[in-house]
């Protein structure tokens, strides 16, 4: 690695470590949009804003869409806490001189949960579930041979039994290859948009406007109003650098600095070692220097190969959690 390249990456790391502020944890809705879907990049500590070489980069940086040259599909499944199921699917469609288009769907499902009340703590016999959904449509374009940009419009929904919330957000990103050695600078601003609040029949109540007065209607139909909250906005900026170690192996290192709207800033670092373009080992550390972070070490492996004219990638990631069990992701990508 060139000295100047190393100095740039070190400077980014030092600046991220100094970016501390008061935490706003618990002030945003739709937290599921912050779950990273790529097993490959999750294993690299989620340092993905400057990794612009595939469909798995789109979540981190919509600007990576501009560099896509082939049709690709991605399917990811996450084994989350408390048997919560996380699923993600995406497709990239190059359109020549028109640029490139993408679509993505994210779904989170709690499974059925027993309804419990103070008078019936063992359950009422009813069951409910929490279901989250996000749908995104993206567009990207290669502006020059080194610079690409892209954006994505998102519909986000959360449902808890008979009540739900709906918002619209947007994400933008850019990717710039700094030099011929492959040093790449990426930046993105994710999920900025409207505020949302929960509405539904679960918020219906019976209301007595004057409990001290006898003979009035003490069961007027009414609705409880919930507050409006934003979706968590996330700013990322980072660098990636590929290095050929030998004819059969290469190394990719990446570093991200990030700052969410509902928490303090931090840094992600990761690496990927690939042998004969067939097998990869990955590791990293996420949320370094973030206040009260409950995550840290990450790791994973991946295999890739050909299926006729197509190419496949199968990746696995494990991420550490301090108080709950570690999480697992599996991703399958087919490049047509």
* pLDDT tens, per residue, the chain with 336 residues: 555 554 444 454 445 444 444 677 777 889 999 999 999 999 999 999 999 878 999 999 999 999 998 999 999 999 988 889 999 999 999 999 899 999 999 999 998 989 998 999 998 999 999 999 999 999 999 999 999 999 999 999 999 988 999 999 999 999 999 998 889 999 999 999 989 998 888 888 887 777 777 767 778 787 888 889 899 999 999 999 999 999 999 999 999 999 999 889 999 999 999 999 999 999 999 999 888 888 999 999 999 999 888 999 999 999 999 888 899 999 999 999
* Sign (positive or negative) of CA dihedral 322, 28, 205, 201: negative
Count: domains in the chain: 1
Q: How far is CA 89 from the centre of its chain?
A: 12
**C-beta of residue 154 within 8 angstroms of C-beta of residue 30:** no
What's the CATH code of the domain at 54?
2.40.160.40
Q: Which domain does 16 fall in, by range?
A: 3-116+125-335
Phi, psi of 74 (to 5 degrees): -135, 135
Task: Please name the residues in contact with 121: beta carbons below 8 A apart, sequence gap of 6 or more.
Answer: none
- Separation between Cα atoms, residue 183 and residue 15, nearest integer Å: 19
Phi, psi of 47 (to 5 degrees): -90, 80
């Amino acid at each position: 690695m060139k000295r100047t390249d190393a100095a740039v990456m070190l400077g980014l790391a030092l600046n991220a470590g100094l970016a501390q502020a008061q935490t706003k944890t618990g002030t945003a809705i739709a937290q599921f949009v912050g779950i990273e879907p790529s097993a490959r990049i999750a294993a690299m500590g989620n340092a993905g804003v400057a990794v612009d070489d595939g469909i798995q980069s789109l979540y981190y940086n919509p600007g990576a869409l501009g560099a896509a040259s082939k049709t690709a599909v991605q399917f990811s499944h996450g084994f989350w806490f408390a048997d919560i199921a996380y699923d993600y699917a995406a497709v990239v469609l190059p359109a020549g001189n028109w640029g490139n288009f993408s679509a993505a769907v994210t779904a989170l499902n709690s499974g059925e949960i027993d309804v419990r009340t103070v008078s019936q703590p063992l359950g009422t016999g009813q069951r409910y579930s929490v279901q989250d959904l996000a749908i995104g449509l993206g567009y990207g374009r290669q502006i020059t041979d080194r610079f690409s940009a892209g954006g994505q419009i998102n519909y986000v929904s959360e449902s808890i039994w008979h009540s739900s919330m709906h918002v619209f957000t947007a994400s933008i990103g850019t990717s710039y290859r700094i030099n011929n050695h492959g040093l790449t600078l990426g930046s993105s601003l994710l999920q900025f948009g409207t505020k949302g609040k929960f509405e539904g029949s679960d918020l219906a109540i019976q209301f007595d406007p004057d409990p001290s007065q006898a003979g009035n209607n003490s069961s007027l139909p009414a609705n409880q109003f919930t507050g409006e909250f934003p979706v968590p906005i996330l700013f990322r900026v980072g660098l990636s650098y590929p290095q050929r170690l030998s004819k059969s192996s290469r190394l990719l290192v990446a570093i991200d600095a990030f700052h969410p709207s509902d928490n303090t800033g931090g840094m992600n670092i990761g690496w990927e070692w690939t042998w004969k373009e067939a097998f990869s080992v990955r590791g990293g550390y996420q949320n370094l220097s973030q206040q009260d972070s409950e995550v840290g070490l990450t790791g994973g492996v991946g295999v890739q190969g050909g299926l006729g004219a197509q190419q496949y990638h199968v990746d696995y990631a494990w991420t550490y959690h301090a108080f709950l069990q570690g999480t697992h992701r599996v991703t399958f990508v087919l490049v047509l």
